[in-house]
Structure 1
């Protein structure tokens, strides 16, 4: 989430006339995240998230994202629910951008998770996978190995971050392309179930947000992505107890196959490379006129180096 597009008061009021939300009390930009413009909207009907989809989002993908959130909500999974306007439509136009309103999920991120948090997060991911199993729409992973090369920065740009970064990335990409799994269970994955997208309330998970990377891919790859977020401390140190707890929680709901477990050492490396490259792209492409908190790619340089040397999974 971020704020790239400023919404004028009169334009917003006109847009909201299409909805049955009652009187608007306040609207505030959310600076966290990097993909879309998001506002917290408060009205007579409660709290909502107003999203304006920016240029990185392919509008052809929006029916998948919206349909998935509706499907999950209808199947008892707690996530933002798209709000339809008076004409029964989810998408509209605001400040010349495609926009939508979603229900607000109460809760906060646990910044320093313990084993119990990771166990619950693993269970929640498995429930998401099962709830999405009969979702009929499909979407290709826009950051799979074939597409990662398309977002790589130039050698000069990489060396400005770290001298040997180009060599590290080139070597890793070749290794992953040679060793990537081919026949493990697939389905709809969240693809970004980091700590900040998993909300807790009164010690329990209250919902999962930000489905704008969701796609069809290996289910175990979703686990690998999450391990890269949940199982490292603020000093980039790996915490094996958290990793074991996440996997154990997942297995209580959807037991992973032997092949999936064996693939995790490769998948966690692929996940680290994917987020290294996208964070590097954002870090090098700073737009000073936007309200957004960027993530330093150093965290995933460290993770990738760790996974390359580790045999802990």
Structure 2
């Protein structure tokens, strides 16, 4: 989440006039993240999140994202529910941007990930994949393997300023990943989140004191792709320590919980190392691009691309799926 586009009090009140949400009580920008402009919104009807969609999101794809969230909520997944205005539409316009209001979810995202978080995460991811199985409309992954080469070209002029030799290392990594990437019907595919980082997963303590997932948020990279790729994204995002070491205990907890609900096929297990390399490269490249292209004055914290270079190197050395926690 972030704030790129400012919203005036007058514009917001005019926007809210089309909703049955009651009096506006509080409104503030949320500065975490890099993608859209997000605001915490409190009205007489409760707490909500207002999102203004920025340039990276194709406005033509927004109805797909909102429809997917509606579908998942209807099947018991704790994710934001788009709020419809008086005309029955959830997607509207505010401050020159497409905009939508969604319900607010309780809970906190974990600032320090523990194995106790990874098991409920694995179960939540499996339930998400199963719940999306009958969402028929497809959306190709706009940041999948076909996008990595063009994105690297856009980053190329500034790569070696970030770290000497980075261009050559990324060229070799991309070629090696694409040479063995699973194609076509090789692995099960469906609706995936594709960005399930710790700050997109909320937890509350359960009756036994253990953390339980209370919400999955930020579906604006969701797409139709390999289900096991979503697992690879999570292994990248949840299973490394601050010193860059891979925590196989966390990974095993995540994978075991996932497989209790949706067992991986032999082909998915074999492909997991290259899927992890691809996920590391994807986030390295988007972070690298944002590192040099974030607009001046945006209230947003840039993220270190080299964190994912270290992860890419780890997965490139991994000796089969067993070394990843399977």
Q: Deviation at 1:234?
A: 1.5
For residues 283 and 132 of structure 1, the distance between their equivalents in structure 2, rounded to whole angstroms, comes to: 33
Query: Does structure 2 conserve the Cα–Cα contact (< 8 Å) formed by 1:112 and 1:233?
Result: no
Is 1:71 aligned to residue 74 of structure 2?
no
Q: Secondary structure at the match of 2:134?
A: coil
Is 1:198 aligned to residue 206 of structure 2?
no
Q: Secondary structure at the match of 2:47?
A: strand
For residues 6 and 268 of structure 1, the distance between their equivalents in structure 2, rounded to whole angstroms, comes to: 37
Is 1:160 aligned to residue 161 of structure 2?
yes
Which residue of 2 is the match for residue 113 of structure 1?
A: 113
Is 1:92 aligned to residue 100 of structure 2?
no
Which residue of 2 is the match for residue 231 of structure 1?
A: 239
Which residue of 2 is the match for residue 270 of structure 1?
A: 278
Which residue of 2 is the match for residue 22 of structure 1?
A: 22
Q: Deviation at 1:154?
A: 4.5
Which residue of 2 is the match for residue 305 of structure 1?
A: 313
For residues 222 and 275 of structure 1, the distance between their equivalents in structure 2, rounded to whole angstroms, comes to: 13
Which residue of 2 is the match for residue 188 of structure 1?
A: 191
Once the two structures are superposed, residues 228-273 of structure 1 have per-residue CA deviations (whole angstroms, 9 ceiling, x without a partner) of 0110012221101111111001001111111101100100000000
Q: Deviation at 1:155?
A: 3.6
For residues 193 and 156 of structure 1, the distance between their equivalents in structure 2, rounded to whole angstroms, comes to: 30
For residues 40 and 5 of structure 2, the distance between their equivalents in structure 1, rounded to whole angstroms, comes to: 14
Q: Deviation at 1:110?
A: 1.1
Q: Secondary structure at the match of 1:107?
A: coil
Q: Deviation at 1:111?
A: 2.1
Once the two structures are superposed, residues 273-304 of structure 1 have per-residue CA deviations (whole angstroms, 9 ceiling, x without a partner) of 00000000000113221111111111101101
Q: Deviation at 1:116?
A: 2.1
For residues 52 and 147 of structure 2, the distance between their equivalents in structure 1, rounded to whole angstroms, comes to: 25
For residues 156 and 48 of structure 2, the distance between their equivalents in structure 1, rounded to whole angstroms, comes to: 43
| More divergent stretch after superposition (275-284 vs 290-299) | 290-299
Is 1:52 aligned to residue 52 of structure 2?
yes
Q: Secondary structure at the match of 2:133?
A: coil
Flag structure 2 segments of 5+ consecutive residues without an equivalent: 206-210
Is 1:254 aligned to residue 279 of structure 2?
no
For residues 289 and 160 of structure 1, the distance between their equivalents in structure 2, rounded to whole angstroms, comes to: 22
For residues 298 and 111 of structure 1, the distance between their equivalents in structure 2, rounded to whole angstroms, comes to: 20
Is 1:244 aligned to residue 252 of structure 2?
yes
TM (norm. structure 1) is: 0.98
Query: Aligned pair in 2 of structure 1 residues 180, 89: CA closer, same or farther (>3 Å)?
Result: same
Flag structure 1 segments of 5+ consecutive residues without an equivalent: none
TM (norm. structure 2) is: 0.94
Query: Does structure 1 conserve the Cα–Cα contact (< 8 Å) formed by 2:155 and 2:285?
Result: no
Q: Secondary structure at the match of 2:48?
A: strand
Q: Secondary structure at the match of 1:211?
A: coil
| More divergent stretch after superposition (225-234 vs 107-116) | 107-116
Once the two structures are superposed, residues 18-66 of structure 1 have per-residue CA deviations (whole angstroms, 9 ceiling, x without a partner) of 0011001110000011111000000111110000011111011111100
For residues 155 and 256 of structure 1, the distance between their equivalents in structure 2, rounded to whole angstroms, comes to: 37
Would you identify which runs of 4 or more consecutive aligned residues in structure 1 move more than 3 Å?
153-156
